[in-house]
Structure 1
Amino acid sequence: MVHTYKEAIDWIHDRLPLGIKPGLKRMEWFMEQLGHPERRVKAVHIAGTNGKGSTVCYLRHILQEAGYSVGTFTSPYVEQFNERISVNGKPIRDEEIVELVQIIKPLAEELEKTELGAPTEFEVITAMMFYYFGKMNIQDMVIIETGLGGRFDSTNVVYPILSIITNIGYDHMNILGDTLESIAFEKAGIVKSGVPVITGIEQSEALQVVSEKANSLKAKTYVIGRDFILTNHSATETGERFSVETPFALYRDITTTMFGTHQVKNAALAVMAADYLRTYYSFIIEEEHIRDGVGKAKWIGRFESLSDNPLIIIDGAHNEAGIRSVIDTVQTHYPDKDVHVLFAALSDKPLEKMVQPLADIAETITFTSFPFPRAATAEQLAALCEHKAKACEDNWQRWIKEKQINYKDTDLFLVTGSLYFISEVRKFLKK
């Protein structure tokens, strides 16, 4: 039996080698044994290639400003494991993790003896989340982020009141497929009969897949650029300013401190979602709640400035779309800076399409690695790069310390790549 927080976390992480097992049979078994807690969760379900976490964050803040208590389920974590299951932005307590593992662990061991096999780490955490929000701490709303894909994602046992698909890009292609249509098909798996879908998908071929799935299930779709419109977007010193027109209202000159065009689109999804909840589900959400919620939202590890002198920015750009977004944001907000990149990534990512675009905006680019099963080596990354000032540095801590001493006012140090890497760098810099 698990008695301490460390024992609980160790048991969860010990399941990592089981990898990813697409399918919902084990989750359905869990839910049956637990008395179907997922049926007691009022949820917004969010899938997409990028922007899920930020969209969760924006919508949570809007609902909180309106006075609602909001649970969230996100991944991966940046600061501590507990943040994956949070209430109003506060990670659940260590003791609650222990209590949840004490409930889930015996069931996981029983499940392992069946023909369905042992549950994965993500399945265990998802079961913990549903039990927590369905039985232990019921919320006004729970915003649930998928882990991978959608159709066979562990979270897809939930029947939400609203679904959101942020965008579609090339990621996890070994599991989701290597075309936008196949990836969109997997993401569209979260669409439920009669449950409306809000989406930021902009590629016509991907949007068609989602639209056809939604139409077949009589699920109304709200598409960015068609059903709700972004206008008057401009970059500011502290973030972005924009307006959003939904079918129900016009919100002028909203501001966010999250940088980048992609974050404006994520915010627009959250505004549309809040407006839908207000219009059709009688949530009491005023314009000031939307403005204040978007304005207060912060998502750690996403174009986050951790130092002004020198200017150090971290960003978990862990796939091709993420790299394009961080490049666009740097060029928009810091066009006159000399950019020095520190990059680490997982080996199963489309590295060729990530490395060279970064190198193209960099004065110098340094590759490194970190202790993680699928992490690429610095040498593997450097081999993909053509830049006269490229380097390998196994000790990234030393690189950061050196830059904190030797820098010019025109320098911008951009640390980017895997979210797991960014998590380690953030802890180091915070110390």
Structure 2
Amino acid sequence: MSSEQVPEALVELERAAELTESTLAVEGAGFSVLDVTPAVGGQLITVQGIAGRYDDLFLPLFGRHQAHNAAVAIAAVESFLGRGTQVLDEDVLSEGLAGATSPGRLQPIATDPTVVVDAAHNPHGAKALAEALPVAFPSEHVVGVVGILGDKDARGFVRALKGTVETFVVTQPPGSVPSTRTPSPRSSWTRSARIASWSSRHSPPRCSRHATWRTRRTPRTPSCSSRAPS
């Protein structure tokens, strides 16, 4: 089973299936997501499986990409139990999906204000996050606290989110190697920057590795501030 793939990846999957004398079912041809409706605590999905159609299944996960993941799982179970010919019991299927969890993927951990954590770490994951946030957690002002390792595509990650996130608070993940590069105030992906620092116990202000990027403001030169984050 596979979700939809770009042509280059699909060619490799088809080659692997041929070498192992396996059958490959790909979303969009063998099965598909027919409908996704936001719901309290998740979403309602309608899936056309390999063997049958399943309407209004509650999935306690956020993001359309999770609906596609569920469709792959349904098709896999259909193939395993009846080689794609046996329709699944909807009560059993509903119970199984209702217990699905995906820690760290659009996971709400606090309210007032709403705080959501997501482990996206590349532009593809950031794009899925950007598409899901306004639907699952609509807000007039979204602040993204971001920590990206040095071997990741940080620019591509921020570009994917900049249409959804109003303000970026950039920090260093635990255990990562500090960057020696300073972002340019004229950088096309930062638009503008305000480098802020703070310290507990009221020590004198100093510039630190924590930075805030506002993506919808006029570019300005980074400045140092001692104001602590709220």
Cα deviation, residue 248, structure 1? 1.5
Counterpart-to-counterpart distance in 2, 1:395 and 1:268? 47
Cα deviation, residue 295, structure 1? 1.5
Matched, 1:342 2:148: no
- Equivalent in 167, 172, 176 of residue 364 of structure 1: 167
More helix by share: 1
Give the 5 Å matches for 1:245-284.
245-280=48-83
Taking structure 2 as the reference length, the TM-score comes to 0.75
**SS, match of residue 142 in structure 2:** strand
Structure 1 residues 364 and 271: alpha-carbon distance in aligned structure 2, compared to 1, 3 A threshold: same
**SS, match of residue 222 in structure 1:** coil
Structure 1 residues 218 and 361: alpha-carbon distance in aligned structure 2, compared to 1, 3 A threshold: same
Matched, 1:307 2:110: yes
Cα deviation, residue 262, structure 1? 0.7
Counterpart-to-counterpart distance in 1, 2:20 and 2:35? 35
Q: Give the AA of the match of 1:219.
A: S
Counterpart-to-counterpart distance in 2, 1:339 and 1:387? 16
The 8 Å contact of residues 255 and 295 in structure 1, kept in 2 or not, is answered as: yes
Deviation string 1:48-107 (CA, Å, 9 cap, x unpaired) is xxxxxxxxxxxxxxxxxxxxxxxxxxxxxxxxxxxxxxxxxxxxxxxxxxxxxxxxxxxx
- Equivalent in 34, 42, 58 of residue 239 of structure 1: 42
Give the 5 Å matches for 1:187-266.
198-266=1-69
Query: Residue 352 of structure 1 corresponds to which residue in structure 2?
Result: 155
Q: Give the AA of the match of 1:349.
A: K
The 8 Å contact of residues 365 and 391 in structure 1, kept in 2 or not, is answered as: no
Counterpart-to-counterpart distance in 1, 2:190 and 2:175? 26
Q: Give the AA of the match of 2:133.
A: V
Counterpart-to-counterpart distance in 1, 2:176 and 2:111? 33
Query: Residue 134 of structure 2 corresponds to which residue in structure 1?
Result: 331
Deviation string 1:1-39 (CA, Å, 9 cap, x unpaired) is xxxxxxxxxxxxxxxxxxxxxxxxxxxxxxxxxxxxxxx
Query: Residue 52 of structure 1 corresponds to which residue in structure 2?
Result: none
Counterpart-to-counterpart distance in 2, 1:210 and 1:396? 52
Cα deviation, residue 211, structure 1? 1.0
The 8 Å contact of residues 355 and 385 in structure 1, kept in 2 or not, is answered as: yes
Structure 1 residues 240 and 217: alpha-carbon distance in aligned structure 2, compared to 1, 3 A threshold: same
- Equivalent in 363, 384, 387 of residue 191 of structure 2: 387
- Gaps (5+ residues) in structure 1? 1-197, 398-431
Aligned-residue Cα RMSD (Å) equals 2.9
**SS, match of residue 352 in structure 1:** helix
The 8 Å contact of residues 379 and 392 in structure 1, kept in 2 or not, is answered as: no
Taking structure 1 as the reference length, the TM-score comes to 0.42
Give the 5 Å matches for 1:49-60.
none
Query: Residue 294 of structure 1 corresponds to which residue in structure 2?
Result: 97
The 8 Å contact of residues 346 and 375 in structure 1, kept in 2 or not, is answered as: no
- Gaps (5+ residues) in structure 2? 201-230
Cα deviation, residue 356, structure 1? 2.7
- Equivalent in 99, 102, 119 of residue 316 of structure 1: 119
Greater relative CO (CA pairs within 8 A, separation 6+): 1
Cα deviation, residue 276, structure 1? 1.6
Counterpart-to-counterpart distance in 2, 1:368 and 1:392? 11
The 8 Å contact of residues 123 and 160 in structure 2, kept in 1 or not, is answered as: no
Counterpart-to-counterpart distance in 2, 1:350 and 1:338? 25
Q: Give the AA of the match of 2:173.
A: F
Cα deviation, residue 334, structure 1? 3.5
Cα deviation, residue 316, structure 1? 0.5
The 8 Å contact of residues 45 and 57 in structure 2, kept in 1 or not, is answered as: yes
Cα deviation, residue 279, structure 1? 0.9
Give the 5 Å matches for 1:38-187.
none
The 8 Å contact of residues 345 and 375 in structure 1, kept in 2 or not, is answered as: no
Structure 1 residues 199 and 230: alpha-carbon distance in aligned structure 2, compared to 1, 3 A threshold: same
Query: Residue 78 of structure 1 corresponds to which residue in structure 2?
Result: none
Counterpart-to-counterpart distance in 1, 2:26 and 2:175? 38
**SS, match of residue 223 in structure 1:** coil
The 8 Å contact of residues 378 and 392 in structure 1, kept in 2 or not, is answered as: no
- Number of equivalences: 197
Identity of aligned residues (%): 22
The 8 Å contact of residues 339 and 364 in structure 1, kept in 2 or not, is answered as: yes
**SS, match of residue 317 in structure 1:** coil
**SS, match of residue 80 in structure 2:** helix
